[in-house]
Chain A
Amino acid sequence: MKNSTFSRKRRWLSAPYVIWMLLFTIIPLCIVIYYAFTDSVTGAFTLSNIGGILDYATIFLRSIWLSVAATLICLVVGYPVAYAISQMKPNMQRLLQLLIMLPMCMSFLLRTLAWVALLEDTGILNNVITALGLSPLPLIRNSGAVILGMVYNYLPYMILPLYSAISKINPRLIEAAEDLGCNKTRTFTKVILPLSIPGILSGITMVFVPAVSTFYISQKLGSPGTVMVGDIIESQFKGAYNPNLGAAMSLILMILIFLCIGVTNKVTANDSEEVAN
């Protein structure tokens, strides 16, 4: 009795957030869905917007491939870093965590523009290269530069969940693996890696989701050949002025992201159930 009144009272504490969500997430989402299924001129129901996305299939595929590549690079680069940090003394761990988060304190736009300055044909890197008597390299306006920009911007989101998962592994489990005959390599593959799966999955989600919907990085570091979904959605609202098609694209992108999160959560949930104790 007492409990239920208490929880009823407490429930009201969430009211501001519920209202916020309703006003700025649920209602806009409904508007997006409405636009996606209506004609831009007549306002009648239509599937042509969704169908129209097929013209942009290559861009969708490219977005997925570029962000998958960036996510994998983040994983490969981030895992050893996260592992190394987890093995250090507590003070060092805190310091390095801070350093990893430091770029996140700097404006995203500024960080991307800084890369433009570095990679440009007449940029800092190419100036160094030409000064050494070599011919300048095409460092910018290609997929590589876009992937680099995404890796640079999203790497902390990979390292932090990985670090948190790895540092939670009970050191006795590692000793137990050694006790049962595992050398360093097999201790890693049989115990450390399986136990860091929740971190790997949340890292993948945290990098892939913003990467696949990014638009600024590809504009600044890419070329017309590396346009991503985020860019064409932006252009539907700003340049081409076809918000209905833009809404349809956003919707499909959102569904793709949901699918990704859904799969991740399903695997993580099964896994964390076992890891819980």
Chain B
Amino acid sequence: MNHELIRLENLTMEFEGTRILDNLNLTIENGKFLTLLGPSGCGKTTTLRIIGGFLTPSSGTVLFDGKPINDIPAYKRQINTVFQNYALFPHLDVYDNIAFGLRISRLKEDEIDRRVTEMLRVVSLKGFENRSVASLSGGQQQRVAIARALVNRPKVLLLDEPLGALDLRLRKDMQNELKRIQQEIGITFIYVTHDQEEALSMSDTVVVMDSGRIQQVGTPEDIYNEPANAYVADFIGESNILDGTMLEDYKIRFFGRTFDCLDKGFTPNEPVDVVIRPEDVDIVDPSEGRLCGTVTNVTFKGVHYDTIVNFSGFKWLIQTTDFHPEGSRIGIRLNPDDIHVMHKSEYSGMFGDYSSYSAEYDEIAVAEESEEE
């Protein structure tokens, strides 16, 4: 069942001298929920639009079921799209919007009726048949858009930041809803988002992109626990990223101390990036700690405290449910599985230092995200 459905080969996209996609290679399996995750301008939407047939790549091939489809126009592809801001037809009501594709393929009216009714059930919009789309809430329009695409029984559903316009609460509900629908229908979903939490909670496979290149492909757990480079570690969740040296298999040295870890296969004494997730650090009494530092900032976050700790000039973010006041001295302990070792990359040194941390960071990040496209 899980055979390859779409393959992108050496996909490159250039627009007015700017390289938007840089030699992208990706295999998408049938029936999976795959997410293209990355910041604004990383090429995720471009990739989606190439798969949908709305853009032609500058070079490279899109294979569908093993056959190249570069020259097949959008309307002939067995792919449907849920557009950003839905793009529902304002001159048609809910029923006619959903029936649009079926009427184009000239199905019999009773067959259309059966399938539209079924789809209204799937997206929980029974009774909305004759409503005008303008009278619907954002979440309801979203469901119509999904139904309008799925009713055609495509092999692949493309979703371009479909939850971007919804408020947080509704977005959470729709995340569950989308995952449920995908599992019920069982077709491939290719989902584009800049929201890492959305990506982690819904996807079977996450593709992290930046600057037109794929940074990492993996399950949400892989991406989070074994980030491929400093970029991925920073983009997915919070990370402390330190310079270290891989002494030998399972031995890593940083801050002048040697720690046990679970990583192997590096060249002896290879300089590496070390990722330590804020929630993995155990705070202990300074006398018992492998490293000792001073708390410089504490922010209450609800479930935990964001605690910034200065270890001889390098500041870490540690998330803990215990309160340690500013100025207190603490020790930390690291278990081997708390330490993630990555090869150096072009992103080394760019992320993972909380020296200039302030609570406003989060707000700035949110503001930047909402400016997207």
A interface, CB within 8 angstroms of B:
170, 172-173, 175-183, 186, 190-191, 194-195, 197, 271, 273-277
The reply to whether A176 and B81 form a contact with Cβ atoms under 8 Å apart is: yes
Measured CB to CB, the residues of B under 8 A from A are 52-54, 73-76, 79-81, 83-85, 87-91, 100-101, 104-105, 132-134, 148-149, 152
Known: A183-B75, A274-B132, A274-B134. 4 other contacts (CB 8 A): A173-B89, A181-B105, A182-B75, A277-B90
The answer to whether A182 touches B91 (Cβ under 8 A) is no
Which residues does chain A contribute within 8 Å of B85, judged by CB atoms?
A: 172
Q: How far is the CA of A173 from the CA of B59 in the complex (A)?
A: 27
Instruction: Pick from A170, A179, A194, A197: contact of B80, CB below 8 A.
Output: A179
| Choice from A175, A180, A194, A276 contacting B148 with Cβ under 8 Å | A180
- The CA of A273 and the CA of B135, in the complex, are separated in Å by 10
A195 pairs with B91, CB closer than 8 A: yes
A177 surroundings in chain B (CB, below 8 A): 89, 100
Cβ–Cβ contact A277 & B74, under 8 A: no
Q: Which of A178, A190, A275 contacts B73 (CB 8 A)?
A: A178
Q: Please, could you name 26 A-B residue pairs with CB atoms under 8 Å apart, sorted by A?
A: A172-B83, A172-B85, A173-B89, A175-B54, A175-B81, A175-B87, A176-B83, A176-B87, A176-B89, A178-B54, A178-B73, A178-B75, A179-B53, A179-B74, A179-B83, A179-B149, A180-B75, A180-B100, A180-B152, A183-B73, A186-B104, A190-B104, A274-B90, A274-B134, A276-B134, A277-B134
CB distance from B321 to the nearest CB of A (A): 46
Minimum C-beta distance from B64 to chain A (A): 15
Contacts of A183 in B (CB 8 A): 73, 75
Q: How far is the CA of A181 from the CA of B104 in the complex (A)?
A: 6
Q: Report yes or no: A276 in contact with B89, Cβ–Cβ below 8 A.
A: no
A180–B149 Cα gap in the complex (Å)?
7
Q: Is the CB of A170 within 8 A of B87?
A: yes
A274→B88 CA distance, assembly (Å): 11
User: Nearest chain-A residue to B148 (Cβ)?
Assistant: A180
The CA-CA distance from A210 to B234 in the complex, in Å, is 67
What's the Cα separation between A277 and B81 when bound, in Å? 20
Q: How far is the CA of A170 from the CA of B86 in the complex (A)?
A: 11
Docked Cα-Cα span, A8 to B83, in Å, equals 45
Q: Which residues of B contact A273 (CB under 8 A)?
A: 132, 134
Q: Give chain A residues whose Cβ lies under 8 Å from the Cβ of B79.
A: 179
Q: Do residues A173 and B87 form an inter-chain contact, with CB atoms below 8 A?
A: yes
How many A-B residue pairs have C-beta atoms within 8 angstroms? Tell me: 75
A181 close to B101 (CB less than 8 A): yes
Instruction: Chain A residues near B80: list those with CB within 8 A.
Output: 179-180
Would A175 and B75 count as touching, CB distance under 8 A? no
Q: Which residue of chain B has the shortest Cβ distance to A176 in the bound complex?
A: B87
Do the beta carbons of A178 and B74 come within 8 Å of each other? Answer: yes
Residues on the B chain within 8 Å of A175, using CB: 54, 74, 81, 83, 87
Partner of B89, one of A178, A181, A191: A191
Q: Considering only CB atoms, which chain A residue lies closest to B79 in the complex? A: A179
DSSP class of A's interface residues: helix, strand, loop or mixed? helix
B90 near A195 (CB under 8 angstroms)? yes
Q: How far is the CA of A277 from the CA of B144 in the complex (A)?
A: 15
- Residues of chain A within 8 A (CB-CB) of B148 are 180
How many angstroms from the CA of A195 to the CA of B87 in the assembled complex?
A: 13
> When chains A and B are docked, how far (Å) is the Cα of A254 from the Cα of B134?
36
B219 to chain A, nearest CB (A): 29
**Alpha-carbon separation in the docked complex, A176 to B101 (Å):** 10
A237 to B33, CA, bound (A): 79
Q: With both chains docked as a complex, state the minimum distance between the C-beta of A271 and any C-beta of chain B, in angstroms.
A: 7
* B115 nearest CB across to chain A (Å): 13
Report how far A172 CA is from B74 CA in the complex, Å. 13
B84 CB contacts on chain A under 8 angstroms: 172
> How many angstroms between the C-alpha atoms of A273 and B91 in the bound complex?
9
The answer to whether B75 and A271 touch across the interface, beta carbons within 8 angstroms, is no
- Chain A residue numbers with a CB within 8 Å of B101 are 180-181
What are the 3 tightest A-B residue pairs by CB atom distance, in nearest-first order?
A277-B134, A180-B101, A172-B87
Cα(A194)–Cα(B89), bound, Å: 10
* CB neighbours of A180 from chain B (8 A): 75, 80, 100-101, 104, 148-149, 152
Which residue of the partner chain B has the closest CB to A275?
B90
Chain A residues within 8 Å of B75, by CB: 178-183
Chain B residues with CB under 8 A of A194: 91
The smallest C-beta distance from A60 to any residue of chain B, in angstroms, reads 35
Q: Which residues of A contact B133 (CB under 8 A)?
A: 277
In the assembled complex, the CB of A185 is this many whole angstroms from the nearest CB of chain B, namely 11
The reply to whether A179 and B90 form a contact with Cβ atoms under 8 Å apart is: no
| Interchain CA distance A195-B79 in the complex, whole Å | 25
Min Cβ gap B94→A in Å is 12
Measured CA separation A175–B152 after assembly (Å) = 16
B-chain residues with CB within 8 Å of residue A181 when the two chains form the complex:
75-76, 101, 104-105, 152
A240 to chain B, nearest CB (A): 50
Give, as a whole number of angstroms, the nearest-CB distance from B256 to chain A: 57
A183 nearest CB neighbor, chain B only:
B75
